[in-house]
Amino acid sequence: MTATAPPKAASGRPDSLRLLLNNTLATAGLIVLGVIVLIALAAPILPLPDPNVTAPADRLLPVGTPGHLLGTDALGRDMLSRLIWGSQISLAVGVAAMLIAAFFGSLIGLVAGYARGRVDNILMRGIDMMQAFPYILLALAIVAVLGPGLLNALYAIAVINIPFFARNVRGVAIGYARREFVDAARLSGKSHAQILFGEILPNVMPVIVIAMSTTVGWMILETAGLSFLGLGAQPPQADLGSMLGEGRKILFTSPHVSVIPGLTIFAVVMSINLLGDGVRDVLDPRLRSGALARPGARTKVDRDDVPAQPAASDTDVLQVRDLRTEFRIGSSVYKAVGGIDLDIRQGECVGLVGESGSGKSVSAMSIMGLVPTPPGAIRGGAAYLKGEDLFAADDERIRGLRGNAVSHVFQDPLSTLHPLFSVGDQLIEAIRVHQPLGRAAARDKAIDLLKRVRIPNPEERLKAYPHELSGGIRQRICIAMALANDATLLIADEPTTALDVTVQAQVLSLLDKLRREHSTAILFITHDFGVVSAICDRIAVMYAGRIVETGPTAEILASPAHPYTSKLIDCVPVLGQPERRLDAIAGRPPVVNNLPPGCAFAERCPKAEDDCRTAPVPMFARGPERAVRCLHPMDDTDADT
């Protein structure tokens, strides 16, 4: 299930812009910001009264007074005019500070990233020092040295934002400094400055622009803050911050004098942030593919049909009928599992075999609803555990079965164990979810389990964290956890794939022993026929979401009927048979959002005929235990007739 974005939205500027405009909030931000900037820029040509002419007779007129739309301040100056001129100053100062910070910060970052070594070290230690201050302290210290004033406030705000640019730019520049085109430029005799500004800077530019857009609103806010404190713009000059600061003294009698400039600052910063978030969302491919969606506790079941329940005897543990699981990403539907049947009896080990992407894991995870929703959903079929329809059971019932009657062992034990809890805590937790035991009793049981999977010093190991253990021990712990509640069905999803060969053999013999002693049924998922022959009684071979061949292990290994099975078996190297031909299967499995009408393997199949491609191929029974989904199986000698 590789998350491929729909091709239409893959690239192209017009598309990105349209996506941005689809985002209502971002569009609103763009409009508000545009209006404010236009009005501020147009201040000289708008019919506004002089913002600095005082009129003591007209002081503190309220909002809505004719001639003074937003009223007047304590000196009778027109608020609207002061607001527009003040916005112009605030915007200009914020943008200027941003440009200064971007220039020096990017320069430091470029040089540090390109030079590396000692220069990098010294520059970045300096940046670290600057970030050791809460940023406003540094700004206040700078203003203390230079004295209050709008320009000095601008410098202070620019300086405290230099580290942000320096860090971001260095991070990217360091990557480019090692690339081939930089080496090539150096060999062609270009100077360091030419390489820095001619070769590296153009590549780093997007990062600088993004950093600019994320900091500009912030810098407008901070310069306004310094002015508010009386350390920025000095009268008669006024920016939004100093207007707010002056208005504060008459807050109780005339709140409009301070509330209106504050509202303007807020509107500017908010619209910049809305726009910035919108741009970020458009640029983030993960959002589009739905990869950021939160998986629910259980796979959504949305079946269009429920197959008739098969007769179940006492030894039948799991009966899967026509299971179909799909992923919906954007407008594409990926039919990961396209209708499979599967039966597992008590004490039996059934192997589900196929290449990666064949749907074997998704089939296994569908049984207990562990396929992430979104984007996955069970669209049809049924899974009966001892006669109980699992897809019809309520969430609480499924939770009660998970880890209890049905347990799982996954592929990579490092990522499947929680890194922040000791293995003992995780094991004890698994026991106590389903058994009414005290902590001490559960701990004893955990030690027993570790002994059962033959881990030495179990008491000691309980305290260990997953990262402190070897891969083999970690996987044994996962198996111990799966055995905690004497499951009737164990679903093992490539449990040996991430392990060394010797450890693989130990884990396999462990699983084999456990099912013989406790008659646990095992569904064993793997891509490796070598592993299959070691443990499985029966095999189901999967390709492109369907089972293509099923039967007893020995029979299939001896005489595979489906060309795909035969190819898979040929992939297994055998010791002592160096003359054996190791064949990779040419071509790639089809993408399951666009399956052909006929046999999905036909494109890669040496025996494919025209009839393979026209219509879906049904399963053909070959004796009581075997079946194959093929019109021209391997032993079919009269294929040409």
Q: What binding mask, one character per residue, do residues 258-277 give for other proteins by CB under 8 A, x or -?
A: xx--xx-xx--xx-xxx--x
Q: Tell me: does residue 407 bind other proteins (CB under 8 A).
A: yes
Minimum CB separation of residue 412 from other proteins in Å reads 7
Q: Tell me: does residue 231 bind other proteins (CB under 8 A).
A: yes
Q: What binding mask, one character per residue, do residues 279-308 give for other proteins by CB under 8 A, x or -?
A: -------------xxxx-xx----------
Task: Choose, by CB under 8 A, the member of 229, 393, 557, 591 that binds other proteins.
Answer: 229
As a whole number of angstroms, the distance between CA 231 and CA 227 comes to 5
495 backbone dihedrals φ, ψ, rounded to 5°: -70, -15
Q: Tell me: does residue 148 bind other proteins (CB under 8 A).
A: yes
How far does the chain reach from its first CA to its final CA, in angstroms? 39
Count CB-CB contacts under 10 A for residue 432: 18
Q: Tell me: does residue 38 bind other proteins (CB under 8 A).
A: no
Q: Tell me: does residue 136 bind other proteins (CB under 8 A).
A: yes
Please, which residue, 88 or 299, has the CB nearer to other proteins? 299
What is the footprint of other proteins within residues 88-117 (CB under 8 A)? none
Minimum CB separation of residue 108 from other proteins in Å reads 17
Please, which residue, 218 or 543, has the CB nearer to other proteins? 218
Task: Choose, by CB under 8 A, the member of 40, 370, 541, 630 that binds other proteins.
Answer: 370
Place of tokens 């600095």: 52
* Strands across the sheet containing 546-552: 406-409, 489-493, 521-526, 349-353, 538-543, 546-552, 627-628, 620-621
Q: Tell me: does residue 235 bind other proteins (CB under 8 A).
A: no
Helix (H) or strand (E) holding 95: helix 79-115
What is the footprint of other proteins within residues 164-193 (CB under 8 A)? none
As a whole number of angstroms, the distance between CA 362 and CA 542 comes to 11
Q: Which stretch binds other proteins (CB under 8 A): 162-170, 184-192, 246-254, 568-576?
A: 246-254
Task: Choose, by CB under 8 A, the member of 38, 132, 311, 574 that binds other proteins.
Answer: 132
What is the footprint of other proteins within residues 11-30 (CB under 8 A)? 25
Minimum CB separation of residue 368 from other proteins in Å reads 7
Q: What binding mask, one character per residue, do residues 49-88 give for other proteins by CB under 8 A, x or -?
A: ----------------------------------------
Task: Choose, by CB under 8 A, the member of 224, 317, 340, 498 that binds other proteins.
Answer: 224
Cα separations in angstroms, 434 against 402, 439, 577: 9, 13, 50
Q: Tell me: does residue 36 bind other proteins (CB under 8 A).
A: no
As a whole number of angstroms, the distance between CA 592 and CA 535 comes to 30
As a whole number of angstroms, the distance between CA 105 and CA 437 comes to 60
Q: Which of 576, 532, 528 is nearest to 556 (CA)?
A: 532
Please, which residue, 203 or 213, has the CB nearer to other proteins? 213
- Tally of helices (H runs) and strands (E runs) in the chain: 24, 13
Half-sphere exposure of 490 (CA within 13 A, CB side): 29
Q: What binding mask, one character per residue, do residues 440-459 give for other proteins by CB under 8 A, x or -?
A: --------------------
Minimum CB separation of residue 95 from other proteins in Å reads 17
Helix axes 135-146, 150-176, angle to 10 degrees: 130
What is the footprint of other proteins within residues 320-359 (CB under 8 A)? none
As a whole number of angstroms, the distance between CA 154 and CA 159 comes to 9
- Give me the helices (H) in 132-179, please: 135-146, 150-176
Q: What binding mask, one character per residue, do residues 476-515 give for other proteins by CB under 8 A, x or -?
A: --x--x----------------------------------
Q: Which stretch binds other proteins (CB under 8 A): 58-66, 346-354, 408-416, 582-590?
A: 408-416
Q: What binding mask, one character per residue, do residues 410-429 give for other proteins by CB under 8 A, x or -?
A: x-x--xxxxxxx-------x
Cα separations in angstroms, 639 against 94, 250, 609: 79, 98, 9
Q: Tell me: does residue 134 bind other proteins (CB under 8 A).
A: yes
Task: Choose, by CB under 8 A, the member of 230, 530, 552, 616 that binds other proteins.
Answer: 230
Q: What binding mask, one character per residue, do residues 581-620 give for other proteins by CB under 8 A, x or -?
A: ----------------------------------------
- CA dihedral sign, ordered 77, 78, 84, 87: positive
Name the β-bridge partners of 524.
Answer: 351, 492
State the maximum Cα–Cα separation within the chain, in Å, rounded to a whole number. Answer: 111
- If binding means CB under 8 A, how many residues of this protein chain bind other proteins? 80
**b/e sequence 119-156, b meaning 16+ C-beta within 10 Å:** ebeebbeebeeeeeeebeebbbebbeeeebbbebbbbb
Q: Which of 447, 435, 518, 517 is nearest to 480 (CA)?
A: 447
Please, which residue, 76 or 374, has the CB nearer to other proteins? 374
